[in-house]
Chain A
Amino acid sequence: MVTFKLNGKTVQGEEGQYILQVAEKYGVDIPTLCHHKALEPAGMCRLCTVELFDGRRSRFVTSCNYPIWEGMEINTDTEEVIKGRKLIVEMLLARCPDVTLLQDLAKEYGIDSPRFKTEDNDCILCGLCTRMCEKIGNNAISLTGRGVEMKVDTPFQAQTDFCMACGACASVCPTGHITLEKIKAEITTQKPQLIKSEYDMGLCGRKPIYVPYAQAVPNTPAIDRDVCIHFKTDGCKVCTEFCGVNAIDHSMKDEIIEVNVGSIILAPGFEPFDPSGLDNYSYADHPNVITAMEYERILSASGPTEGHLVRASDHKEPEKIAWFQCVGSRDMNKCDNSYCSSVCCMYAIKEAVISKEHADYDLDCAVFYMDMRTHGKDFERFYNSAKDEHGVRFLRSRVHTVNPIKDSDDLEVRYVAEDGEIITEVFDMIVLSVGLQTSPETIQLADKLGIELTEGNFTKTSTFEPVATSKEGIFVCGAFQGPRDIPQAVVDSSAAAAAAGMMLKEARNTATTEKEVVPEINVTGERPRIGVFVCRCGINIAGVVDVPAVRDYVSTLPFVEYVDDNLYSCSQDTQEAMAGIIKKEKLNRVIVAACTPKTHEPLFQDTLLDAGLNKYLFEMANIRNHDSWVHKDDPDAATNKAKDLVRMAVAKAALIQPLEEAELQVNQTALVIGGGISGMIAAKNLAGQGYETHLVEREAELGGQAKNIYKTSSGEDVQKNLSGLIDETVKNDKIKVHLDANLKDVEGFVGNFKTTLASDGSDETIEHGIAVMATGAAGLKPDEYSYGKDARILTSLELDRKFIEKDASLKDVGSAVFIQCVGSRDTDRPYCSRVCCTHSIDNALELKKLNPDMNVYILYRDIRTYGEKEYLYKKAREAGVIFIRYSLDNKPVVTIEDGRMMITAQDHVLGMPVKIEADLITLASAIVPYKDEKLAQFFKVPLNEDGLFVEKHAKLGPSEFSTDGVFLCGLAHYPKPIDEAIAQGQAAASRAITLLARETIHTSGTVAKTNPADCSACGVCVSVCPYSAPSFIDADARMFPGKAQINSVLCKGCGLCVASCRSGAIALQGFDNEQIFSQISALCEAV
């Protein structure tokens, strides 16, 4: 250590350090223009000149490159020093009079205008650029010439190949002498390129060191070795100089890690179709033609325009936007993807509606489509509201070409309207609804693993094992299984987990290690002893907030017995130190003022547990995400805010109490309601993983709707597979089948249900831990198209029955007509029944197979053969099936005269009515749920207006309910084909097993509790709770009969009941009134 005097104060520095470095450490500000932490000092600008007294005499030295020595005396702001600096600034200003930085400095030193002759330069010859280039390992530029001729230049003053156009020189230039434009024009021969941000779809750039996106897990920056200069030149490593914890290691290598697994699940996803090759849409060369994925980023608040809807070319708010559907889907002409991508119709409508909602002006949104495919749950309603309420225009037309308009950023679109008229329209922006496809890397992976793919390059699976690949033990989920939306991908992921779990059930719990539990110290009744740890988070907090000031302030607050600041509170060693301090100081409340409790609360709560404290004796003050990061430019305000936030936490902490987490045994038995295909699959999976399962069927035999279906769209025999499944179910000794049975009563809640079954006139009570609703749905019996008046008019299922029974009369049919959307997509049932288009087309092909000369017509509104079902549509057209479109306001009419069935429909191509005589009419009738309100009440699960069960989350929780312990699958959720019903049966079992496998449930401590003495039994809490946690105490109970009680197992701690309670009889532990009031009053005290 070297000790010397700095402005009269004794300071210490390390041997070899320069004056400037030590001054920085002690917070003494010395101005400099040529210093950079990562570069060797050069003493070029002379602005850092200070006065050195060596014991005998004074002299001036440049502090950036003058090493310290024992006993020296340094003064940084004497009159002489300032006078000298002023002269330097004046001379620099004379050389570069237009440089803002120097103008500002001149103002600071009181210089109006330089006394010297001014020049027209903008380089102060600080040498930062040349030293940086040298550090990078490139030496493409250097200072050339002597004296007044000196300047920054390339060898021979020519553009050089050596410059890699990395831009490092421009990034350090303090005056703007070197810019990216100058590099391009004068320095490099190479083409500087933006490193495109993958997350922002290349709409903006990113750095070589980057966090892929804000929510990335882990949220740690990574170095992109392909673009990082160090990996090109071996130089640079500037980043390491700035990392406070030496976390950057350029020598890290990729590792090959071998893991032993019993099963593999493939979830590699998809890549959006790249429309660059479609020259007719001008995507590659026009900035205002973008893909839907790019458009998503423009709409996103975290995107390149921060959610402001503007077009790329001129940042103008668009007035007219067009969406083109089926770009890279349903197309064998411009690409090879003949399948439907399933999701694009819906996402285009969503984007159009969001855009409309977003724009505070009259924005015109037009969607150009072939068939509108809104076949998901609640999608048809959304489509209708987009059309009728939001005014999105839907134009059934495939646009051939986009013509960029000369001398304008607009785009001209010519299309053929439905009536045949050619229309020209100008749009500001065009969004291409690009399809989903499997990436070449994924195809390679499939090849390596030896799994079979379909012709569309998705995984080949069977209807009855929808997540199993062709190789045993390898399962698949997500878009690699076929293009699909989020809910279906989530169903499949749970299904894949179930399938893998079945294989691995023997290994369950064999690799578990248990954590040692420290006995909890009882602190009840103790005076609060609050410990506060203020985190610096490196420079993330300390760079803005004055952490020592916050720390000192906090020590003055009531009940605070200990306070300190940490560099990184979340680091392993700090955690251990904190546990030690908690014990040593006998703290009974702990506050960490750092980042957000949403990510770090569990970590610090573990530290409390390690110190023997109840984990609820903890509070966080969010002084990073809510403070230092968002008030970077106002350190004083940020520091004050940090003090306020910690004071609020201290006020609350003084009132918090240890909370208990109750433990509940989970009954290991399952109950599945509904013996159709999805119910049987759920039972099979539950039993297969070792759980006793009761399967309840209201009818006399198992099978459900599948009993009526002939074959699947991929040609598998349904009856053969179904009887196999029924056989397996009946023979499974872990499954108890209850036929002709109905539910009479249900009591209890997750883990402990008690259900009374009535069958054969006797009652049976089953105790079970979970329940699966697989109650199915039925085909509609139509009341239109003369159904029931002629034996030749059938529903789809009745036609299937004829196929199953090999009805010979089918062969003699001369003309068969299918009518689609019978009872679906109308005002009574505004939903799509999802399966009927595929089913009718499949049956149409089957009829053609029986008799190739048969005339087969399909009258439809939109053909919805989503995913790879599209191939069937194509096959049907090739086989000569005639498709005639009708609209809801001009439905076909069926008449029967003298035994002849006639159908009149408006032909959409001819624009004229056509009359078809039919020998067979098949009505693709809707799928209608049973709307079992009693069952819904038994398990406290909701039904929607269509009578379908409402799942926990439309996207992320499709196979479970908000009510814990109750799961959902099959048609009761939404109409779906067999493969999807099976996947959901597996998914429901998988979700249920996550609960059953735990054997015990720990409730949260932050739950609501009633004080029955104050309760007026009004029932508001019982009616408002979305989780059915409150209930009335039995009327014949000894204590508080009829008053409200809250089941802490079901309570999610949202506090809705607390806020709604008129009697103030409910408290939310951990967020109680007094605690929140204390925060409010602490907050409003003046600092």
Chain B
Amino acid sequence: MSDWEPKIVSFLCNWCSYGAADLAGVGRMQYPANIRVVRIPCTGRMSPKFALAALREGADGVWVSG
């Protein structure tokens, strides 16, 4: 189990967290590669259905940030 890496789907607000993730890149901050970002126009757009869909499709974690 120690090698197990969770698959994380993140829903990031275009205006803040998505931009923050961009800046993390500009600052060359290193983090694990097991996260995939879906850009949404605002966390207001986030629907519980998206989180459920991600889990149903095999994601181990869902992160909503905005």
Contacts of B7 in A (CB 8 A): 1084
Complex CA gap A2/B47 in Å reads 62
Which of A637, A641, A1059 lies in contact with B44, CB distance below 8 A?
A1059
Residue B26 CB within 8 A of the other chain: yes
State whether B23 touches A1055 (Cβ < 8 A). Answer: no
Also in contact, A1084 and B33, with CB within 8 A (given A302-B27, A597-B39, A625-B25): no
Contacts of B50 in A (CB 8 A): 1076-1077, 1080
Residue A676 CB within 8 A of the other chain: no
Which of A624, A625, A631, A1083 lies in contact with B38, CB distance below 8 A?
A1083
B residues 1-47 touching A (CB-CB < 8 Å) = 7, 9, 14, 18-19, 21-34, 36-42, 44-47
State whether B58 touches A1084 (Cβ < 8 A). Answer: yes
Also in contact, A1054 and B28, with CB within 8 A (given A598-B14, A634-B33, A1080-B53): no
Also in contact, A1083 and B24, with CB within 8 A (given A626-B37, A1055-B44, A1068-B41): no
State whether A1054 touches B38 (Cβ < 8 A). Answer: no
Residue A622 CB within 8 A of the other chain: yes
CB distance from B17 to the nearest CB of A (A): 11
CB distance from A545 to the nearest CB of B (A): 11
Closest to A631 in B: B33
State whether B41 touches A1006 (Cβ < 8 A). Answer: yes
Which of A215, A622, A1059 lies in contact with B37, CB distance below 8 A?
A622
Contacts of B29 in A (CB 8 A): 306, 630
State whether A625 touches B42 (Cβ < 8 A). Answer: no
Q: Chain B binding site: helix, strand, loop or mixed by DSSP?
A: mixed
Q: Which range contains the number of B residues in contact with the other chain? A: 35 or more
State whether A625 touches B36 (Cβ < 8 A). Answer: no
Closest to A219 in B: B26
Residue A112 CB within 8 A of the other chain: no
Also in contact, A630 and B31, with CB within 8 A (given A1055-B44, A1056-B45): yes
Complex CA gap A214/B21 in Å reads 13
CB distance from B14 to the nearest CB of A (A): 7
State whether A1055 touches B42 (Cβ < 8 A). Answer: yes
Closest to B62 in A: A1080
Contacts of A596 in B (CB 8 A): 18, 22, 25
CB distance from A1082 to the nearest CB of B (A): 9
Residue A983 CB within 8 A of the other chain: no
Also in contact, A641 and B22, with CB within 8 A (given A1077-B53, A1083-B9): no
Complex CA gap A1056/B66 in Å reads 13
Complex CA gap A1071/B12 in Å reads 13
CB distance from B2 to the nearest CB of A (A): 17
Residue A1073 CB within 8 A of the other chain: yes
Complex CA gap A641/B54 in Å reads 17
Contacts of B22 in A (CB 8 A): 596, 598-599, 622, 625-626
Contacts of A867 in B (CB 8 A): none
State whether B23 touches A1080 (Cβ < 8 A). Answer: no
State whether B41 touches A648 (Cβ < 8 A). Answer: no
Residue A1032 CB within 8 A of the other chain: no
Count A interface residues, CB 8 Å: 46
CB distance from B59 to the nearest CB of A (A): 6
Contacts of A219 in B (CB 8 A): 26
Contacts of A637 in B (CB 8 A): 33-34
State whether A1073 touches B25 (Cβ < 8 A). Answer: no
Which of B26, B30, B46, B47 lies in contact with A631, CB distance below 8 A?
B30
Contacts of B53 in A (CB 8 A): 1077, 1080-1081
State whether A1054 touches B24 (Cβ < 8 A). Answer: no
Complex CA gap A215/B44 in Å reads 26
State whether B47 touches A1081 (Cβ < 8 A). Answer: no
Produce 1/0 per residue, A257-298, CB < 8 A to B: 000000000000000000000000000000000000000000
State whether B25 touches A1071 (Cβ < 8 A). Answer: no
Produce 1/0 per residue, A1039-1060, CB < 8 A to B: 0000000000000011110110
Which of B28, B38, B45, B58 lies in contact with A629, CB distance below 8 A?
B28
Which of A214, A622, A1077 lies in contact with B23, CB distance below 8 A?
A214
State whether B30 touches A633 (Cβ < 8 A). Answer: yes
CB distance from B58 to the nearest CB of A (A): 4
Contacts of A644 in B (CB 8 A): 36
Contacts of B18 in A (CB 8 A): 596, 598
Which of A626, A630, A1058, A1068 lies in contact with B30, CB distance below 8 A?
A630
- Indicate the member of B30, B41, B49 with the most A CB atoms within 10 Å: B41
State whether A1054 touches B44 (Cβ < 8 A). Answer: yes
State whether A1055 touches B38 (Cβ < 8 A). Answer: no
State whether A1055 touches B26 (Cβ < 8 A). Answer: no
Complex CA gap A599/B19 in Å reads 10
CB distance from B62 to the nearest CB of A (A): 10
Residue A894 CB within 8 A of the other chain: no
Contacts of A1083 in B (CB 8 A): 9, 36, 38, 54, 57, 59
Residue A381 CB within 8 A of the other chain: no
CB distance from B19 to the nearest CB of A (A): 6
Which of A302, A622, A1059 lies in contact with B47, CB distance below 8 A?
A1059
- Indicate the member of A644, A1070, A1080 with the most B CB atoms within 10 Å: A1080
Closest to B19 in A: A598
Also in contact, A641 and B33, with CB within 8 A (given A625-B25, A1080-B53): yes
State whether A302 touches B46 (Cβ < 8 A). Answer: no
- Indicate the member of B19, B39, B49 with the most A CB atoms within 10 Å: B39
CB distance from A228 to the nearest CB of B (A): 23
Contacts of A626 in B (CB 8 A): 21-22, 25, 37
CB distance from A378 to the nearest CB of B (A): 21
Residue A874 CB within 8 A of the other chain: no
Residue A645 CB within 8 A of the other chain: yes
State whether A648 touches B38 (Cβ < 8 A). Answer: yes
State whether A1068 touches B45 (Cβ < 8 A). Answer: yes
Complex CA gap A1068/B49 in Å reads 15
Produce 1/0 per residue, A180-192, CB < 8 A to B: 0000000000000
Contacts of A1053 in B (CB 8 A): 41-42
CB distance from B29 to the nearest CB of A (A): 6
Contacts of A306 in B (CB 8 A): 29
Residue A586 CB within 8 A of the other chain: no
State whether A1076 touches B41 (Cβ < 8 A). Answer: no
State whether B40 touches A1076 (Cβ < 8 A). Answer: yes
Closest to A1026 in B: B44
State whether B57 touches A1081 (Cβ < 8 A). Answer: yes
Complex CA gap A640/B32 in Å reads 13
Contacts of A624 in B (CB 8 A): 25
Also in contact, A215 and B23, with CB within 8 A (given A1055-B44, A1056-B44, A1073-B47): yes
State whether B42 touches A1056 (Cβ < 8 A). Answer: yes
State whether B33 touches A645 (Cβ < 8 A). Answer: no
State whether A1080 touches B9 (Cβ < 8 A). Answer: yes
Which of B21, B40, B49 lies in contact with A625, CB distance below 8 A?
B21
CB distance from A896 to the nearest CB of B (A): 58
Complex CA gap A957/B31 in Å reads 35
CB distance from B52 to the nearest CB of A (A): 10
Also in contact, A1084 and B54, with CB within 8 A (given A598-B19, A1055-B41, A1071-B41): yes
CB distance from B48 to the nearest CB of A (A): 8
State whether A1055 touches B33 (Cβ < 8 A). Answer: no
A residues 578-600 touching B (CB-CB < 8 Å) = 596-599
Produce 1/0 per residue, A866-903, CB < 8 A to B: 00000000000000000000000000000000000000
State whether A1055 touches B45 (Cβ < 8 A). Answer: yes
With A645-B36, A1083-B57 given, can you name 18 additional A-B contacts, CB distance below 8 Å?
Answer: A215-B23, A302-B23, A597-B39, A598-B18, A625-B21, A626-B22, A626-B25, A630-B28, A630-B30, A632-B30, A648-B38, A1054-B42, A1055-B40, A1059-B45, A1080-B50, A1081-B53, A1083-B54, A1084-B58
- 7 A-B pairs with CB atoms under 8 Å apart are A598-B19, A598-B22, A627-B33, A648-B38, A1071-B41, A1083-B38, A1084-B57
Q: Which residues of B contact A (CB under 8 A)?
A: 7, 9, 14, 18-19, 21-34, 36-42, 44-47, 49-50, 53-54, 57-59
Q: Which 7 pairs across A and B sit closest by C-beta, in order of nearness?
A: A1055-B45, A1056-B44, A625-B25, A1084-B57, A1054-B42, A637-B33, A629-B25
